[in-house]
Structure formats: C-alpha cells, structure tokens
Chains A and B, each alone.
Chain A
Amino acid sequence: MYSSFQERPNHLDPVQSYSSNEVRFTGQIYEPPLQYHYLKRPYALVPLTATAVPQPVYLGADGERLPEDSAPEDVSWSVYDIHIQPGIRYQPHPAFAQDADGRPLYQDLDEHALGDIYALGDFEHTGSRELVAADYVYQIKRLAHPHLHSPIFGLMSDYIAGLGDYADTLKAASAEHTETGGDKGFLDLREYPLAGAEVIDRYTYRIKLRGTYPQLLYWLAMPFFAPVPWEAERFYSQPGMQERNITLDWYPVGTGPYMLTVNNPNRQMVLVRNPNFHGETYPEQGEPGDAAAGLLVDAGKDLPFIDRVIYSLEKEDIPYWSKFLQGYYDTSGITSDSFDQAISVGSSGEVALTDTMLEQGIGLKTAVSTSDFYTGFNMLDPVVGGYTEAARKLRQALSIAVDTEEYISIFLNGRGIPAQNPLPPGIFGFLEGEAGINPYVYEKTATGPQRKSLAIARQLLAEAGYPDGRDINTGKPLVLNFDTTATGPDDKARLNWLHKQFAKLNIQLVIRGSDYNRFQEKMLKGTAQIFQWGWNADYPDPENFLFLLHGEQGKVEHNGENAANYRNTEYDRLFNRMKNMPNGPQRQQVINRMMAILQHDAPWIWGFHPKQFSLVHSWYHNAKPNLMANNALKYQRIDPQQRAALQAQWNRPVRWPLGALLVILLAIIVPAWASYRHRQRQPAHRGSH
C-alpha cells in the first residue's frame, strides 16, 4: 500500500508520540491493552491484548472496598486489574537476539562494535520474546522517566498513585547513576517500584488511581499505555546508538501487526507485516448497513491483510492529489481546491462523486470529525473579555456577524457543521436538531433554524455600548485585534474573509500576525484578543471537550488548555460533577445546563466541526472512517493486480508535444544552418563590425 507523510513524525516512542502524524505509525506497531471496535458506533472499547475491558474496584480512605455505585466523593482509590493474553510475541528485533547459549548478543556493545551499522536493519541477528505484564508496568513507569517528556505525565501524575513522587525518585536515581558511571546511561526502572502500577503475575498488572477517573479506559487504548520491553531500552542506551540515530524514538519495538523496517524521515518510512503477530480476526459484527457496504466480507479472516505499507514524504497537497488520481496513492483526502473535481452535490444537498471519479471507480467515505475549530475571545481582555452584560452582548453580536456557514461554504465546500457549543456530533451530550441550537446566534424559522440577522447583531452591539461600531462615550471607532500565526498561501484569503465579517458591523479588525512562538507567548501572557484555535479529541467523552473551558485549565493562570481563560464558578462546579458521571439522562441534564451557561457567556465563536471526506480507489477495501481507532491499518485490504492494471491504463503519457518540439527545433536549426553555410562562403572579414 502507498501512503504519504507530510511532516516527519518527531517521536515514535510511545511515551511521547501524541500528535496524529506520530500515532498513525505507533498505533500500528504498539499494542495497548484496549482498542476501539473498528466498525461499531458509537465508539466502543474492546480488548486488544487484554482479555477483557477492566472494571475498576473502588476503595475507601482506609482501603476498604466500596460498592460500584458509590459517589465519586467517597472513593479514595480505584484499582484496575488488567489481564493480558498469554503467547503474544514481540516483533523480531536485535535487542532480543541471543547466541546459541541463550546469552543476549547485542546488549554489551561499545562504539567500536557497532562499526558500520547505521540503521537497525544492519544488525545481523534478531530475536523475540513473549509479552508479559511487566512490560506494561515498565512503560507506565517510563511516563515519569527523567529523560523523556511525556505529554500526559502532568495529567497522569494527578491520578496514578505515586507517579509524581516517582519522577523525583527517578531524577535522583538518574543523577546518582551518572555520578557513579553506572550502566552506560541505562536506568533500569524495574529496580524502582511504583505504587500506582504493579505486576500481579506474569500476565496481570494493576493500576491504582487516586479518586475516580473513568476516562482512564480511553487512555488505555492509546500508545501511552503500550508495552515496552526493558531489553529494548537497555539496547538503545548503549554507547554509539544515539550517535547513529538508533533510538527507541526512531525504531519502535512492538507486538502489533506491523513493524517499522525503513525509517528515513527525509524520504520514506516502511511498515512491514510483523511475522510474530499473535493473530487477530476481522470483526464479525458492525453497524447496521456495514454488511451492505461490503465491510463484512472479510469477517473472521486473519488480520492484517496488507504486507507492506510505504509512506513517502509529500509536503504539498497538490502533487499528492495528482498522484492519487494517477493511482500512485491508494487513499486521499479532499482539499477544498479539488472539491469540485471530486464531489458533486445533488439537488437536495446530498453529496456524490462526480462522473470522472465514478469512472475511475473511486469511492467516497464521509464522517464528521470529533474536532472543534473555534474563534476564541480572551476573557481577560478589557474589551472583548469580562462577564458584564455589555461584554457578553459584544461577543454575541460578533458571534452572529461571523458567518460560519459562509466560511464552511467557501473554504470547506460545505464540509463542516456549524458548532453550537464545544461538543461535536458523535460525542455524548451532543443534541441533534433544534434542541441543540444556540439561541443567541440562531432563531427558529419555518424552514429550520437561521442565523440571526445583522440588524439584531447591530442592536446587540449598540446595547454593548458601540452603536454603529463606535464607542458611545468617546465616539472612537471600535478596533479589535486578531492574533494569528497565519503565513500560508491560503491564509490571505482567510484573513480577508474574517476582516469582511467584522466590517459588517463597522468594526475594524486588525490582523496581528506573528510567528508561532510569539503567538504562544501572547496566549500564555493573555495579551491576545481574538484568536483561532482547534482541538482534536483524545477520546470520545464529553469531558475531553468541556475541560477546554474549565477554569482550572486557564492558559494564563495554570498553563492549561483553556485558551480563552474562561472561568465560571457554576460551570466549573457542574464540570466536576459531569466528569465522573456515567452516560445517561442525568449526565445529559448536567451537560445541557453547562451548555446554556456557555452559550450565554459566548467565550468562543463556536466555529465548526469539520467533516472528513476521504476518497479510496476501487482496489482498496474495508475503509470505514474511525476517528478514534489509531490502528485501523490492519483492517484494510487492497488488490495489487487491479491497481497495477489501472495505473498503467491511466498513465499513458501524451507524447505528441515532444514530437512537435522536435519539429520546431528542426525548423529553427535548418535555416540557421543554411545561413551558416552561406556565410562560410562569404569573404571572412564581413563578420566583424
């Protein structure tokens, strides 16, 4: 299979890989205990290496066991026991290589022994071993490793018992280690026990959390909680490895269906089927309609289907798109520029592929992504921020004026849903239809909800103290500042558009562009005024969106994810309650109340949730957008013969212009030659002048 990467992944170490371009690799290689069901919606967790999805046991302050339905306030500890399947083996890797006597081959190398080894593939021998529970525990300990920067360390140390202190322990141990010259920089975490993660037996381990944190299960489906064998870490910490770019960050070691064999971030990354894969079968059940869509044809067959996946570096969208059309890539997204070529929208708004696409046998998959793209107000700002009624009205007026529908239509070709609040569809708490409409921006009409008119926005603006865009006291025109890092080719159009939206209310929008770092600094200091920001769900729980406006997450005060620095006591109280509730009508009620508060305060112009459109060629099977699962590759199947045939058919070069060029060249050369001959016969001195 052929795919591409736009930017090289920074980290492939499961402790650090977080962004989507990293997880798309680590997800195929590492196997955390849980995964998302590939076909079922709403998203459901199923075991991957675990035997079952673990259920927490709640403990009181004195360690006594509490009933399952205890109130979160009473629970002091929750304990998860995770059993893994026996017999799972790691991919072949030199770290496991042994000689005839069972001694490790490559664990005591010095720089000299590495010789001309520059990539992992240059090692002659490889080995493997069985996956054990200790490997999972080892990885949890690595979250606190002094030399690694896990993005979730801060979050997890709030929950996993003793993880915060453990980091200090390791730091001290590491310092001591360096002084005594220890084992070449390898810090054996097995020697340092962690209260929150323990091995129970060969195939069982236990995670102990402070209080309750039901969202832990979602994290258990991410590579952060995948197993890492200590041998690998020791192997990579030998002298000379780092110098040769042979690190765990670069060459992952996993139990998953694929292993990374080539990693040249300047050009190509190659995933190859792991010969030791423990085996898994294609799911037999799906959503209604999956069978009709041909998604269950492979039910029960062994995974994975594809042997090799080649990812090539492709920085620009345009060449990628052309190559997709030529059949050199198997799947593609759609940029707004190629939209009209690919998609035709029917008379009642339904999307379909254009005839040219259908002729090529290309298929279309759509899904609303679990992301937010919003325009935030800095609530600390004296003009747009604050919780007075006037400030609210200003923000509400702006929320009406910025015509998200038009934005979606121009820049996304309609591939998006205007957001009413932070919750995207598919996440619990999202309300369909009129029930979910933001009453401050939309009004009900006979044909459904409509964006309120500009007259209402102007009215609100006047009530906020800026009639006709001018300060009622000083008469000065209102000027707002938009902070952005935009420099790309498409950004000029976006900025112009935004400027137009504010101009509708006679408000001048000053675009303050700066580089990424300066933007970050402004956000951290709270000197930005209006900004755009996005959030991509970590897991399908409303908590993962609503915490973006939680007071404790304030960017300026707590360096958190609440970029708008929004703080509302009532909201924060409800958030803490909602966090620990199971999905159900009660939780919905709490969420509804939170939404009402947010919509009234309008700290964001809610923006939109983008729809993902992806195209797949006819030889590509089992594609179903799954926004949560990061290991979907193993379910995909392609038909290489069909691909080769079609590629050849589509790419007949047009050669006649070459011939034409030749003729033109001849037409120029022949007279020139004739003239040259003519000159030759002339007396020589005529040439000079």
Chain B
Amino acid sequence: MLAVAFGVSFVTFFLMYLAPGEPAEMIAITRYGAENLTAEQVAVIRLAEGLDQPVYLQFGRWLGHVLQGDLGVSLISGEPVLTEILARFPATLQLAVAAMAVSLLIALPAGVIAALKQHSAVDYFTMTGALLGVSMPNFWLGLLLMLLFAVNLGWFPVSGYGGWRNIVLPAITLGTGIAAVTARLTRSSMLEVLAQDYMLTARAKGLGEGRIIAGHALKNALIPVVTMVGLQFGHLLEGAVVVETVFAWPGVGKLLVDAIFARDYALLQGCVLIFAGCFVLVNLVVDLIYVWLDPRIRYEKGG
C-alpha cells in the first residue's frame, strides 16, 4: 500500500519530464508567453523553483511538500493547487455519487430479473442493452441526451452547474455505461448462486420465493458485484473527465483537461495525484466491504 503510494508519486513527478523542453523554460512560457520570453526570466524561475538542483533532490523536496498537503501553486492563477482542487472536488463527488446511484438503480434490478427469467425475452433485451451500453462512447451519449432533452424538449439545461436539473443528464450519461457492466455481472453472479445447493436447502425448508431471493441469493450474489463497483470507480473517474467536459461541469476532471491545455504543470500533477489517490482509497474501502460481506476471507487470512 505504502509502496504503491510512493510509486504513484514517483510516476506523477516524473511524468512532467516526458514533455519536450526544459521544465524552467516551459514554466516560463506558461507564465509569460513564448513571444516575450527572456533568458533572465527562465534563470529566475530555475533558481526559484529549485530546478537547478539534481532531479532526486527535486523529487525529495516535492514529495516532502506533498506529504504536508502542499501541492504547489498553480502556474496560471497563482492559487495553491490544493485549494483549486478542493474547490472543484464537491462537484465531481456529486456527479460520481449520482452516476453510481443511476447505474445501480438500472443494473441491479435488470441483472436480477434477467437471471430469474434466464433465456426469456427480458433476459435477451437486458443483455443486448448492456452490450450496447458498454460499446457506446459516453461523450456521444451525452451529446445525444443533450440534443433530445435539453435542445429539443427543453426539460433540462444544456450544460453548467447549479440546481438538481443540471445534474440529471451528466449523471445518466456517466451512469449508463457503468450500469451495463454491473448488470451483466449481477446476472451471471445471480445465476451462479441460484444453482448452489444451499438454494435447494432454502427451498426444502419451505421458505417463500421472495425470502429465498432476497435473503439467500441476493446477498451472496452481491459479493462480486461490490468488488466490481469498486473497480468501476476508476471508470467513473475516467468518465468524469469526459462527461464534465461535455456538460461544462466544474469538477476536477474539467480542471485536469483545462490544466493540460494551459500547460499548468503544477495543477496537472496535483489533479493526477488526487485522481490516483481517490482510486487507491476506494479500492481499499472495497477490500474492507468485501471482508464484511464474506467472512470466509477473514478466516482464511487467519484473522
């Protein structure tokens, strides 16, 4: 875990060296523009940012700052990077939670019903829909939803941030792609559980069909789904970058894209670090939930 965190910061720091050109010069271009650039400006920046020192010292110093929560200062706005990211974070979190809610609301019932009625028309319809869902580019879906519900019907605003109406289209856009994968997994996991011996036992005990499904099948079938939902959080973050850009949603994803275009390296590093940090953290939480859902894992690890 710690090794991964260290590796992540290492990669994030050295990413910037992939860009062609010397860092000090690139920062100077970002700040003052390429036309009226002087050698002194570059020299001043090189000294001020410690870019004249050996790379490993720079990395050590940067890492020290990051550990204290100091992600540096945006090259464009001059604001601390952490402040900028934290200001955008709630919007991304809202979008992620709303999208996850949309996806689960679609995927869980669809997957369970498809499994209970295997090989029925409902099953084929759901699974074809799921395959369409994973194959559809979310930015295209976003534009189509925008066209239909915002431009033509006028039910929701085209883009922007504000009331609940604003979040509907972005959340559906981001949620459906993820719902597709979850629905398929819920179905196959449910089918597997339904074929287990303990389902027969439950039936033999004379339990009603409803209790069998809810109490015995669903909880066991959800175990792989929880892991998947956790892994999907990564897709959610990826998708957020695109969806936020489509709908001009002022989140961290949009900030990242803007930082790339503005060549704001400090902000870029900060965003990448935050994205990776969230991803790692969520995976950790998923591991914990997994143990809670399936106590066997705890016993196997000798706890």
| A and B: bona fide binding partners | no
